[in-house]
Structure 1
Amino acid sequence: MSEYASYFNQDSAKWSLVNFDSWCLQKTNGCHANKIHRIFYKHMNDVLLKDSSTEQERSQARNLINSRKEHVKLANALWDNPDILKSIYKENSKKRDRDTDEEDLVEKERHLALKERELSIKEREV
């Protein structure tokens, strides 16, 4: 399970069976749909049972378990063409990188605005 930990360390809002399947195809060798799906839903059950899980993680896990049938059906259809399934994680990674860059810019702008405000206060004091 530890080899899959890095996937589940991301924001729980980004968890999905299809994304997990795609991630596994990118990161692990010799993965099979049934095994990967069991691992995914075992982790979802573990999230519900662990005291350390956040309310957001529990909610996401509950939603994923409740809609398991539809998600497995979609994921199994995508396993028929692994190249498409692999590309899903790549595209999601690119989007995450862009989102992170935007968040970094917003944080830098906020930091600069605070510095500017501090400088204007210091100028008034002088």
Structure 2
Amino acid sequence: MSGKVKVSKDVAERINYVKGYTDEWSIIDYLMNSTLGKDEQVLAVKGYFNDYEVEQTPEENLAQQYNYALNEWEGERRRPLNISEKGVYKDGYIEGIRDALSILKIKIQGVNRL
């Protein structure tokens, strides 16, 4: 398998727990008999023996998008028609994220108005 395996934070914690083990069969046994689901167990073994990266949670991903729009967006995605409209799309994008979080009753530190 080439490339990094994407794993959840829980799977990454399991992989890190066995990093000091030297017996490969003990590692496989631990990862395959953990409380993880079968698919996650297989990903844990692949991640241990290859390489892995931790996936962002949906909340982390949304916070990253929000912070990007809030702090760094200068019309990269959509160019305004003229200078006076600069920032209008950005403001709507940010407000849309906040509205979605409010409707779904999800709180993300630094994004919701608290």
Higher helix share: 1
TM-score (norm 2): 0.31
Normalised by the length of structure 1, the TM-score is 0.29
Indicate the structure with greater strand content. Answer: 2
